[in-house]
């Protein structure tokens, strides 16, 4: 099957506006030819002035020629503006439809895939990358048609008056093209991809850095604690400087060649008039001196069009990376869970083609039971919890809630069945009321307030004059990590999902907030199936069942009493190490 060109793919999003794109090219080309007509009238003026010298009163057609030059120049501008209006209407439609297509597709992606993309990269792809296609269609393609028409018209004019001077005018053009080839082609396409990658990395890390500023302030860290952000800036700096140095000589040669046309014309004028003064040669020489700056302008436009075409190619590649990401398949006949039990049967999952993140995991959590996932970092605890909420689908095995495979549940019902409180919860810039109500948009103010009270959030509400209507993030109103967690718990309470997943949700809470968060958890867990991911082992003492994960395998499971009593168990070793660590004290120097 023949691969579609970038232009064909973009115009596929134009709908009935596609014809405006073609019309813009015709009008732009026509404006370019109209813009060359004034040069012919200028040549007529020069000829009449030279032929009537010194009796200039006989140059009776100069005024008419001048006005005709103005008329065609104005007509060229008006036709070009009309062409740009057509191209912009089509380009705006394409950019809008591209953004809609991407946002619709993202809505169907697994939440885990969205996390792997990163919010910074997704935002840049939807906003800036789609914007690059808009610029391409609205300006660059009409300008390309205009440049091609200009070149055709210039060739006709250059060879029509004096073919010898015309050929001399083309010599620097050939030299400029030779220099241009050193800066374009496959090598430049690779460089453009590297450039966009560096920008995307820097943008993504910038978003994460801004989000992490509260943590930096809380723990008194410096900007340089965000090594990845600084590394992306340094990488971008190194790349730009190296690439600029690489293009110094080709760009210098190009600029020198494209602006040296006068040298060739003047040399040709001397050469062709050696036999004596020739008014025709002088007239043509003046005409070529006037018109040849158009050559350098057109060539420079073409050079940047080549670069912009590569930007669009990279933009489409990035758009494809979003649009071609597989969405979660949805069943045509959704089934409904009978209770809040969670069962995994021989589940194996990997993020890529490397080793499995989870391998042959089987477990069963009864309705209303509290289960804890513990184990060394990188063991697969968060991955396992994400699979239960169907952030990803496993490569093999079955995950069921209430006896129903999560693949056979309607997406909205699954989201209503499972609630998540993450280690690092986020709030939108909006009122406290709106942030909590996101869990259930149809909830009344009274229901939101009840959830806030149950989540121990009233002290947060009472410290602001506007109460629940306080807009977070405005006028210096910010919350601590523990306060954000309590609002996230209120959101989960309002959602009232039967299955609750807690991913190390007290990690960033201070002692005072941790007490309130833990009290909110106890209230939230009542009557629900709770899956908690814990590094702080004191939080799993009262769990009904503990599952210990190591290197993607289920190493052992049992109650706290069973696992801690076994000398040879991994959990027993972890528990003893934990007890020893909490007894550590900072000794004062005598």
- The set of residues, in sequence order, having a beta carbon less than 8 Å from that of 503 and lying 6+ positions away, is 382, 385, 420, 421, 422, 423, 533
For the chain, first and last CA: distance in Å?
A: 81
CB 21 within 8 A of CB 12: no
Q: Looking at residues 134-152, what average pLDDT do you find?
A: 86
Q: Nearest 5°: phi and psi at 551? A: 50, 40
Q: What is the DSSP string of 201-257?
A: HHHHHHHHHHHTHHHHHHHT--GGG-HHHHHHHHHHHHHHHHHHHHTHHHHHHHHHH
Other C-beta atoms within 10 Å of 366: how many?
Answer: 14
Domains and CATH numbers, the chain: 6-183+247-323 (1.20.1560.10), 342-582 (3.40.50.300)
How much is the pLDDT for 220? 47
How much is the pLDDT for 78? 96
For the chain, how long is the longest CA-to-CA vector? 119
pLDDT band at 480 (very low <50, low <70, confident <90, very high): confident
Helical H runs in 389-529? 411-417, 432-437, 445-454, 458-462, 481-495, 511-525
pLDDT band at 365 (very low <50, low <70, confident <90, very high): very high
Is pLDDT larger for residue 367 or for residue 251? Answer: 367
Q: Is the pLDDT of residue 319 over 90?
A: no
Q: Looking at residues 230-256, what average pLDDT do you find?
A: 80
Average pLDDT over all residues of the chain: 80
Q: Looking at residues 301-326, what average pLDDT do you find?
A: 74
pLDDT digits (tens, 9 = 90+) for 45-99: 877 887 787 777 777 888 888 999 999 999 999 999 999 999 999 999 998 888 8
pLDDT digits (tens, 9 = 90+) for 90-129: 999 998 888 888 888 887 777 777 776 766 677 777 777 7
Q: Looking at residues 224-245, what average pLDDT do you find?
A: 76
pLDDT band at 343 (very low <50, low <70, confident <90, very high): very high
| C-alpha distances out from residue 48 to 40, 51, 60, 61, 62, Å | 12, 5, 9, 8, 7
- Tell me how far apart the alpha carbons of residues 282 and 50 are, in angstroms, rounded to a whole number: 9
Q: Which of 54-68, 260-274, 440-454 has the lowest mean pLDDT?
A: 260-274
Q: What is the DSSP string of 264-328?
A: HHHHHHHHHTTTS--HHHHHHHHHHHHHTHHHHHHHHHHHHHHHHHHHHHHHHHHHHHHHTSPPP
How much is the pLDDT for 276? 55
- The set of residues, in sequence order, having a beta carbon less than 8 Å from that of 107 and lying 6+ positions away, is none
Q: What is the DSSP string of 320-376?
A: HHHHTSPPPP--SS----SSS-EEEEEEEE-SSSSS-SEEEEEEEE-TT-EEEEE-S
CB 506 within 8 A of CB 533: no
How much is the pLDDT for 556? 92
Highest mean pLDDT of the ranges 8-12, 237-241, 315-319, 401-405: 401-405
With H, G, I as helix, E, B as strand and everything else as coil, classify residue 554: strand
CB 306 within 8 A of CB 254: no
Is pLDDT larger for residue 476 or for residue 573? Answer: 573
- Tell me how far apart the alpha carbons of residues 137 and 6 are, in angstroms, rounded to a whole number: 11
pLDDT band at 484 (very low <50, low <70, confident <90, very high): confident
Q: Is the pLDDT of residue 259 over 60?
A: yes
Q: What is the DSSP string of 48-62?
A: HHHHHTT-GGG-TTH
CB 264 within 8 A of CB 120: no
How much is the pLDDT for 156? 81
């Amino acid at each position: 099957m023949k691969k579609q060109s970038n232009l064909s793919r973009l115009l596929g999003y134009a709908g009935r506006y596609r014809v405006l794109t073609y019309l813009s090219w015709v009008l732009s080309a026509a404006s370019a030819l109209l813009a060359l007509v004034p040069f012919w009238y200028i040549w007529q003026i020069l000829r009449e002035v030279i032929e009537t010298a010194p009796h200039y009163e006989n140059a009776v057609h100069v005024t008419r020629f001048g006005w005709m030059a103005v008329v065609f120049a104005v007509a060229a501008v008006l036709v070009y503006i009309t062409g740009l209006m057509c191209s912009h209407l089509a380009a705006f439609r394409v950019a809008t439809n591209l953004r809609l297509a991407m946002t619709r597709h993202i809505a169907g992606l697994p939440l885990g895939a969205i996390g792997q993309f990163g919010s910074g990269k997704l935002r840049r792809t939807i906003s800036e990358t789609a914007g690059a296609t808009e610029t391409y269609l609205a300006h660059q393609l009409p300008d390309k048609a205009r440049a091609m028409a200009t070149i055709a018209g210039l060739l006709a004019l250059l060879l029509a008056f004096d073919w010898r001077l015309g050929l001399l005018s083309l010599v620097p053009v050939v030299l400029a093209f030779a220099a241009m080839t050193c800066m374009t082609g496959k090598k430049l396409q690779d460089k453009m991809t590297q450039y966009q990658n560096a920008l995307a990395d820097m943008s993504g890390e910038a978003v994460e850095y801004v989000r992490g500023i509260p943590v930096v302030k809380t723990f008194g860290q410096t900007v340089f604690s965000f090594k990845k952000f600084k590394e992306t800036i340094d990488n971008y700096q190194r790349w730009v400087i190296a690439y600029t140095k690489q293009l110094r000589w080709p760009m210098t040669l190009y600029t020198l060649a494209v602006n040296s046309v006068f040298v060739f014309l003047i040399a040709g004028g001397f050469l062709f008039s050696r036999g004596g003064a020739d008014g025709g040669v002088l007239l043509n020489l003046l005409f070529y001196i006037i018109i040849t700056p158009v050559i350098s302008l057109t060539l420079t436009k073409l050079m940047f069009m080549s670069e912009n075409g590569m930007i669009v190619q990279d933009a489409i590649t990035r758009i494809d990376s979003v649009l071609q990401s597989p969405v979660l398949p949805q069943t045509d006949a959704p089934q409904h869970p009978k209770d809040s039990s969670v069962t995994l049967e021989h589940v194996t999952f990997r993020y890529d083609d490397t080793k499995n993140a989870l391998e042959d995991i089987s477990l069963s959590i009864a309705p209303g039971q509290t289960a804890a996932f513990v184990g060394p970092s990188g063991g697969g605890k968060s991955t396992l919890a994400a699979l239960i909420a169907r952030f990803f689908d496993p490569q093999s095995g079955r995950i069921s809630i209430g006896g129903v495979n999560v693949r056979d549940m309607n997406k909205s019902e699954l989201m209503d069945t499972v609630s998540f409180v993450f280690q690092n919860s986020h709030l939108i810039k909006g009122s406290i009321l709106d942030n909590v109500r996101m869990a259930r948009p149809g909830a009344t103010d009274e229901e939101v307030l009840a959830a806030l009270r149950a989540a121990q959030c009233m002290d947060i509400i009472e410290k602001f004059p506007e109460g629940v209507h306080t807009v977070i993030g405005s006028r210096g109103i910010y919350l601590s990590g523990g306060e954000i967690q309590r609002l996230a718990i209120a959101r989960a309470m309002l959602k009232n999902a039967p299955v609750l997943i807690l991913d190390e949700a007290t990690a960033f809470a201070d002692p005072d907030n941790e007490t309130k968060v833990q009290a909110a958890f106890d209230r939230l867990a009542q009557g629900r199936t709770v899956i908690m991911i814990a590094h702080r082992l004191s939080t799993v003492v009262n769990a009904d069942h503990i599952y210990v994960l190591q290197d993607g395998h289920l190493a052992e499971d049992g109650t706290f009493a069973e696992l801690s009593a076994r000398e040879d168990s991994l959990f027993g070793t972890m528990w003893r190490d934990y007890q020893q660590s909490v007894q550590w004290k900072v000794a004062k120097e005598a």
